[in-house]
Amino acid sequence: MDEKGKSFNRARMLVLGVAYKRGVDDDQESPACKLMELLRDKEAVVAYNDLHIPVLQPTRKYSYTLRSDALEPETLAASGCVLLATDHTAYDYDFILKHALLIVDTRNTFVGKEAVRGKVFAA
């Protein structure tokens, strides 16, 4: 974010995939929850999308309840950054690439896609 001249403070961050692994509906021990907590600590406004987990319930570690946002062009464009945490096969990655302003790819899913230079960062 800093490299792009953007601050985390009040930035809208969209986390894609909160399940602990691809294709499952279990968020227990998911690294996405820790990532969301770190973003919230930096005062980012955090939202998520996961086709398998429509509501993220509080746990022993995390006290928030969130609902999955619809994955629409407006949702992606309104997010300062899209963070791909779980690479579900149901995601349309070309659609995400087309509409997101900045993508942090923790799964190397966008490697080899066209038009990603300056838009996608592998983590």
Taking alpha carbons only, the member of 47, 96, 49 closest to residue 70 is: 49
Compute CA 108 distance to the chain's CA centroid, rounded to the nearest angstrom: 14
- The architecture of the domain spanning 2-122 is 3-Layer(aba) Sandwich (3.40)
Query: What pTM value is reported for the model?
Result: 0.88
Between the alpha carbon of residue 2 and those of residues 58, 89, 101, the distances in Å are 30, 30, 14
In the predicted model, is pLDDT for residue 83 greater than 80?
yes
pLDDT digits (tens, 9 = 90+) for 18-72: 999 999 999 988 999 999 999 999 999 999 999 999 999 888 888 888 999 999 9
Per-domain residue ranges of the chain:
2-122
Sheet bearing 45-49, strands edge to edge: 45-49, 12-16, 81-84, 103-105, 120-122
